[in-house]
């Protein structure tokens, strides 16, 4: 049984570690001996140029989208999470098995990541126009279909939030949550669903669907064994929830997100770019890197080469039949 002191002490460690990292790791030295924090952080979290172009193409004023392009990667969080658990175990006189320690580290890391998202507002927004796809708005006007991506937003219930701006002037009518992991972000997703339903948008939560494609391809060994199954699962997700939500043409723009807006979102976004927009892999990889806080091979942020490989090798023929029927929505040449 883990005592109340465990949770109280854990909370203290979380706040201390977060303040140390975000402040640039000033004294006391004992808090900083993991080395100088390598925080990959956008100095100006403005919406990126590609996203601005997509908004312009759709006639959406950029000032009406209350989201930012900030992405952050702090590798020291993992180190400090392990140290926090070992410190707690020592002070509380506990002995963890390897499995228990791994689970406890995961809990600590999850709450640290949550605090970073809340304190820094790391929305990591991106958008593109989906070539050949349009929808009709409430006035009957035909508009280009935009696909938005981001990390989980933490202020959905607030007036003027990023999510509300996407559902309002952003024209979003379909939301897909791609995050089904163990980090404590699910209350934000529940709030997101509440707002979406109130404002007349559909909401799909992959955590409740059993579609665990990401877990199938996490390592080189499992990737080789499971990639075709994962491709089929991703194709189903794209066809049924993004291209034809509810089996019909989209009635507005589409927005999906994962936890940090890096991996799951980057893979789905990259596949749409390659298979629908026919964009080159050089552009796709550069964009993927930007959303993972990649700076260089020595400071790769959250970059994962297997994710790029999955985008490159994805069988685009699995998306055949992806265009809506003409009577449901017009398709540009």
Distances (CA, A) of 93 to 87, 105, 292: 10, 17, 39
| pLDDT at residue 1 tops 70 | no
- What's the pLDDT at 14? 53
Domain boundaries, the chain: 4-37+74-119, 49-71+123-319
| 32-57: average pLDDT | 67
**Which of 45-49, 220-224, 274-278 bottoms out in mean pLDDT, i.e. has the lowest?**
45-49
pLDDT tier at 222 (50, 70, 90 boundaries)? very high
- Percent of the chain topping pLDDT 90: 77
Better-predicted residue by pLDDT, 326 or 240: 240
- What's the pLDDT at 253? 98
The C-alpha atoms of residue 324 and residue 331 are separated, in whole angstroms, by 8
The C-alpha angle 293, 299, 303, rounded to 5 degrees, equals: 50
Class (C level, CATH) for 49-71+123-319: alpha beta
Instruction: Give the pair of three-digit tokens for residue 163.
Output: 């999510």
Instruction: Give the pair of three-digit tokens for residue 136.
Output: 């009709």
- What's the pLDDT at 320? 83
The C-alpha atoms of residue 271 and residue 282 are separated, in whole angstroms, by 13
Render pLDDT for 236-264 as a digit per residue (tens, 0 to 9).
Answer: 999 999 999 989 999 999 999 999 999 99
* 3 state SS of 218: coil
- What's the pLDDT at 45? 61
Render pLDDT for 112-163 as a digit per residue (tens, 0 to 9).
Answer: 999 999 999 999 999 999 999 999 998 999 999 999 999 999 999 999 999 9
- What's the pLDDT at 299? 94
Contact 66, 86 (CB under 8 A): no
| 32-56: average pLDDT | 66
Render pLDDT for 266-294 as a digit per residue (tens, 0 to 9).
Answer: 999 999 999 999 999 999 999 999 999 99
Distances (CA, A) of 311 to 57, 90, 146, 252, 264: 25, 45, 20, 26, 11
The C-alpha atoms of residue 63 and residue 60 are separated, in whole angstroms, by 9
**Mean of pLDDT over the chain:** 86
| pLDDT at residue 332 tops 60 | no
Distances (CA, A) of 32 to 5, 9, 25, 28, 188: 24, 19, 6, 7, 31
Model confidence, pTM: 0.86
- What's the pLDDT at 74? 94
* 3 state SS of 267: helix
Contact 332, 135 (CB under 8 A): no
Instruction: Give the pair of three-digit tokens for residue 144.
Output: 């280009």
Contacts with 234 (C-beta within 8 Å, 6 or more apart), sequence order? 213, 267, 268, 271, 314
| pLDDT at residue 44 tops 90 | no
- What's the pLDDT at 166? 98
What does the buried/exposed string (b/e) look like for 228-257 if buried means 16 or more CB atoms within 10 Å of the residue's CB? eebbebbbebbbebbbbbeeebbbbbbbbb
- What's the pLDDT at 46? 67
pLDDT tier at 211 (50, 70, 90 boundaries)? confident
**Which of 27-36, 142-151, 253-262, 302-311 bottoms out in mean pLDDT, i.e. has the lowest?**
27-36
Better-predicted residue by pLDDT, 20 or 98: 98
């Amino acid at each position: 049984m883990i005592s109340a002191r465990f949770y109280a002490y854990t909370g203290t460690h979380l706040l201390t570690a977060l303040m140390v990292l975000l402040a640039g790791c000033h004294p006391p030295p004992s808090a900083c001996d993991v080395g100088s924090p390598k925080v990959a952080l956008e100095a100006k979290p403005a919406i990126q140029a590609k996203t601005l172009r997509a908004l312009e193409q759709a006639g959406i004023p950029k000032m009406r989208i209350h989201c930012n392009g900030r992405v952050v990667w702090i590798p020291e969080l993992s180190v400090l999470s392990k140290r926090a658990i070992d410190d707690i175990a020592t002070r509380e006189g506990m002995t963890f098995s390897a499995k228990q320690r791994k689970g406890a580290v995961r809990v600590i890391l999850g709450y640290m990541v949550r605090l970073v998202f809340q304190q820094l507002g790391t929305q990591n927004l991106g958008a593109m126009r989906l070539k050949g796809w349009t929808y009709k708005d409430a006035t009957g006007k035909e508009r280009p279909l935009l696909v938005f991506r981001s990390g989980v937003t933490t202020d959905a219930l607030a007036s003027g939030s990023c999510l509300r701006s996407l559902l309002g002037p952003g024209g979003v009518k379909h939301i897909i949550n791609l995050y089904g992991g163990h980090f404590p972000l699910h209350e934000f997703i529940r709030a997101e669903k509440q707002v979406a339903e109130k404002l007349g948008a559909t909401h799909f939560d992959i955590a409740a669907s059993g579609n665990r494609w990401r877990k199938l391809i996490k390592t080189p060994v499992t990737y080789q064994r499971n990639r075709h199954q994962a491709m089929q699962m991703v194709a189903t997700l794209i066809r049924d929830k993004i291209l034809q939500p509810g089996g019909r043409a989209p009635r507005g723009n589409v927005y999906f997100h994962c936890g940090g807006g890096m991996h799951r979102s980057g893979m789905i976004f990259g596949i749409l770019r390659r298979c629908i927009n026919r964009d080159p892999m050089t552009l796709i990889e550069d964009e993927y890197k930007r959303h993972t806080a990649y700076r260089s091979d020595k400071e790769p942020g959250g970059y994962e080469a297997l994710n790029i490989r999955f985008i490159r090798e994805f069988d685009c023929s699995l998306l055949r039949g992806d265009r809506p029927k003409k009577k449901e929505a017009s398709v540009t040449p």
